[in-house]
């Protein structure tokens, strides 16, 4: 690690510490009523209490589960559909316009539809999360498949490779940088929609915890939940970056 | 010895053609690119094709590879009509950067051809090592193409083509993007590889000297539409040598003849 990197790390750490100090100061001076704004000390206390009683663990597990199932379903479906559309020029010309119409549709608009069809259930949550998270993955996959170097298909033809081999050895790896970037975007979408669905349908998870804490004016618990959600987003995105880095080591060589 | 006998046969013209174009015509986008092209390439022969830019050299090679189907006439391989590309015909593309898989190492790129050919995975590492050594890339097995120079990448593409164990090797200006020194080195390597494997070669180039230096026969194409304008037999002794072959009176005579032809087509 070189010096510049270390300096940046230290600087960003100091900025974070500064924010927490400022937060503590505002809370101590009671600039905002303690009913609404706990200090970092009380929020931390609530976190510790929540984890030691086990309550927060189960909420965290609930949210992670919603997020993971939705995201995985979106990834599998998004890659499969994206591959089919992206690898055929006719499909692209006919299907792409409809996708462009559906894509900007806010997912919140389909939540009532999902609730009407599936009720306030886990299935509804899974559907909504997957529906919202599929777009970045599917569009990235379409793009990745459409951008495969045609020369490589000629290499595949002259090697008489099977269709399946062409998909798995040529098209998918070639599209993988796009696909992984799409999957990373979807991760955030999946987290947001998990919280939304938990709040709307009262499903076990951090979203529900945050809602209940707010209703009961337990601001420390509320903040503990929010902090945990932030951390979840951060950690999953870092994990995704690490996975990308490993899977795309060949790209690092290219630069 | 077998390949020497085959070469003699090829040069003296007694063998049946391995690849034959029979009055081949190709239209693309309503334009006639190749017209009434007839040509036989005998097993073990090294045929070079030259011609002005845009005269249809690449197109002719793609027809021989089965990547294009003729709109008129027939392309045959070993007496059978060519309906699609086949593993026995390997093609070395000029743009090696695009023809290699950037996400696979040198070994992985060679492996692609072995996998396609059904070589059991236990036998692949040894084959890969041998092939990389053959093209002068030993010890680079773990490198990605992007970590290699242009010359090395083209060697790698050749290694992958050799992994196909081709009966015919098609090369489209394979050294066009390389510097003169690398180019001469690779010319000699290709000659010795081909002599060892006995493969038939069709080699497209812009470089008249290169064509004469490498070939048993050189064909010059005329443009619009592409057809044969000149055909020269190269009676130069093998193995060829960068210095003495290029100073040979026969070499100079052929060079002159070819040069005049190209000059005439460009007017
Ligand atoms: N797919 C295509 N559709 C229409 N015309 C084409 C197509 N491919 C090639 N041509 C035309 O056919 C002619 C011959 O092209 P080709 O690439 O075979 O030439 P070439 O001799 O290889 O040229 P160069 O020396 O520049 O590589 C050119 O005029 C080109 O514009
Ligand atoms: Mg060409």
Contacts of A179 in chain B (CB under 8 A): none
Give the ligand whose atoms come closest to the C-alpha of residue B93: 2
Residue of A nearest to B68 (CA): A154
- For residue B250, the distance in angstroms to the closest alpha carbon of chain A comes to 37
Closest residue CA from atom 14 of ligand 1: B56
User: What pLDDT is stored for residue A32 in this prediction?
Assistant: 83
d(C-alpha A43, C-alpha A26), whole Å: 14
Does position B253 have pLDDT exceeding 60, yes or no?
yes
Best B89, B110, B116 member to test A by mutation, with max A CBs in 10 Å, is B116
From the CB of B56, is ligand 1 less than 6 Å away? Answer: yes
What angle (nearest 5°) sits at the alpha carbon of residue A155, between those of residues A150 and A158? Answer: 125
Question: Could you tell me the two tokens for A48?
Answer: 């510790």
Asked if B174 and B95 touch (Cβ cutoff 8 Å), the reply is no
- For residue B90, the distance in angstroms to the closest alpha carbon of chain A comes to 7
Residue of A nearest to B143 (CA): A253
Does position B257 have pLDDT exceeding 70, yes or no?
yes
Contacts of A159 in chain B (CB under 8 A): 87, 112-113, 116-117, 164
Does position B152 have pLDDT exceeding 80, yes or no?
yes
From the CB of B62, is ligand 1 less than 6 Å away? Answer: no
By Cβ distance, the residue of B86, B103, B147 closest to A160 is: B86
- Name the pairing type of β-strands B72-77 and B19-28: antiparallel
Average pLDDT over residues B222-226: 88
Best B103, B159, B170, B171 member to test A by mutation, with max A CBs in 10 Å, is B103
Contacts of A45 (CB under 8 A, 6+ apart): A220
User: What pLDDT is stored for residue A162 in this prediction?
Assistant: 94
Instruction: Find residue B172's DSSP bridge partners.
Output: B204
Average pLDDT over residues B85-93: 95
Percent of the residues in chain B that have a pLDDT greater than 70, as a whole number: 94
d(C-alpha B69, C-alpha B64), whole Å: 9
Sequential DSSP letters for chain A: --HHHHHHHHHHHHHHHHHHHHHHHHHHTTSS-TTT---HHHHHHHHHHHHHHTHHHHHHHHHHHHHHHHHHHHHHHHHHHHHHHHT-HHHHHHHHHHHHHHTTS-HHHHHHHHHHHH-SSHHHHHHHHHHHHHHHHHHHHHHHHHTS-HHHHHHHHHTT--HHHIIIIIIHHHHHHHHHHHHHHHHHHHHHHHHHHHHHHT-SSHHHHHHHHHHTT-HHHHHHHHHHHHHHHHHHHHHHHHHHHHHTHHHHHH-
From the CB of B31, is ligand 1 less than 6 Å away? Answer: yes
For domain A35-254, the CATH superfamily is MetI-like (1.10.3720.10)
User: What pLDDT is stored for residue A255 in this prediction?
Assistant: 61
- The full set of domains in chain B, from first to last, is 2-88+166-266 (3.40.50.300), 101-165 (no CATH)
Residues in chain A with pLDDT < 50? Answer: none
Does position B48 have pLDDT exceeding 80, yes or no?
yes
- For residue B227, the distance in angstroms to the closest alpha carbon of chain A comes to 25
User: What pLDDT is stored for residue A252 in this prediction?
Assistant: 78
Q: How much distance in Å is there from the Cα of B54 to the middle of ligand 2?
A: 7
Question: Could you tell me the two tokens for B235?
Answer: 């009676």
Contacts of B102 in chain A (CB under 8 A): 250-251, 254
From the CB of B161, is ligand 1 less than 6 Å away? Answer: no
Most ligand 1 atoms within 8 A of CB, residue of B25, B49, B50, B59 to mutate: B59
Q: ipTM for the complex?
A: 0.90
d(C-alpha B88, C-alpha B117), whole Å: 10
Does position B97 have pLDDT exceeding 50, yes or no?
yes
Domain definitions of chain A by residue range? 1-31, 35-254
User: What pLDDT is stored for residue A128 in this prediction?
Assistant: 95
Average pLDDT over residues B89-117: 95
Q: Select from A81, A83, A87, A66 the least CA-distant residue to A209.
A: A66
Q: B26 φ, ψ to 5°? A: -135, 125
- pLDDT band for position B1 (cuts 50, 70, 90): very low
Cβ < 5 A residues, ion ligand 2 = B 58
Q: Residue A106 burial by CB count (10 A; 0-12/13-18/19+): exposed, middle or buried?
A: exposed
Best A147, A154, A156, A159 member to test B by mutation, with max B CBs in 10 Å, is A159
């Amino acid at each position: 690690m070189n010096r510049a990197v270390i300096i940046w790390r230290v600087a960003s750490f100091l900025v974070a510490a500064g924010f927490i100090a400022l937060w503590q100061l505002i809370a101590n001076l009671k600039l905002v009523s303690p009913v609404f704004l706990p200090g970092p000390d009380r929020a931390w206390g609530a976190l510790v209490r929540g984890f030691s009683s086990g309550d927060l663990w189960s909420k965290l597990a609930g949210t992670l589960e919603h997020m993971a199932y939705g995201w995985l379903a979106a990834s599998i479906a998004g890659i499969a559909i994206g591959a089919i559309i992206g690898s055929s020029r006719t499909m692209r010309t006919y299907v792409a316009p409809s996708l462009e119409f559906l894509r900007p549709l806010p997912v919140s608009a389909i939540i009532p539809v999902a609730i009407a069809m599936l009720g306030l259930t886990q299935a509804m949550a899974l559907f909504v999360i997957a529906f919202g998270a599929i777009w970045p993955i599917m569009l990235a996959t379409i793009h990745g498949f459409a951008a495969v170097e045609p020369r490589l298909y000629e290499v595949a033809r002259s090697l008489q490779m099977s269709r399946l081999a062409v998909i798995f050895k040529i098209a998918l790896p070639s599209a993988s940088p796009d696909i992984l970037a799409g999957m990373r975007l979807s991760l955030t979408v999946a987290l947001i929609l998990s919280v939304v669905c938990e709040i709307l349908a009262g499903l076990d998870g951090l979203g529900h915890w945050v809602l209940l804490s707010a209703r009961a004016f337990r601001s420390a618990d509320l903040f503990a939940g929010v902090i945990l959600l932030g951390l979840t987003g951060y950690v999953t995105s870092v994990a995704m970056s690490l996975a990308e880095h490993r899977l795309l080591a060949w790209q690092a060589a290219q630069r | 010895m077998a390949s020497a006998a085959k070469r003699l046969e090829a040069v003296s013209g007694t063998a049946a053609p391995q690849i034959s174009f029979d009055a081949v015509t190709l239209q693309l986008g309503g334009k006639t690119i190749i017209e009434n092209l007839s040509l036989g390439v005998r097993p073990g022969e090294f045929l070079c094709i030259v011609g002005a830019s845009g005269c249809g050299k690449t197109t002719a090679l793609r027809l021989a590879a089965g990547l294009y189907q003729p709109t008129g006439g027939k392309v045959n391989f070993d007496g059978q009509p060519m309906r699609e590309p086949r593993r026995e015909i390997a093609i070395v593309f000029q743009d090696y950067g695009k023809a290699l898989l950037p996400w696979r190492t040198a070994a992985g790129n060679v492996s692609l051809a072995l996998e396609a050919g059904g070589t059991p995975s236990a036998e692949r590492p040894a084959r890969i090592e041998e092939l990389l050594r053959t093209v002068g890339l030993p010890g680079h097995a773990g490198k990605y193409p992007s970590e290699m120079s242009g010359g090395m990448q083209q060697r790698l593409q050749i290694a992958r083509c050799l992994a196909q164990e081709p009966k015919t090797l098609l090369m489209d200006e394979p050294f066009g993007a390389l510097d003169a020194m690398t180019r001469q080195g690779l010319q000699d390597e290709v000659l010795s590889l081909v002599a060892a494997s006995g493969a038939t070669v069709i080699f497209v180039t812009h470089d008249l000297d290169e064509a004469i230096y490498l070939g048993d026969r050189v064909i010059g194409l005329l443009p619009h539409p592409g057809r044969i304008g000149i055909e020269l037999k190269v009676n130069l002794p093998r193995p060829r040598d960068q210095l003495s072959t290029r100073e040979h009176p026969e070499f100079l005579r052929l060079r002159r003849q070819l040069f005049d032809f190209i000059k005439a087509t460009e007017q």
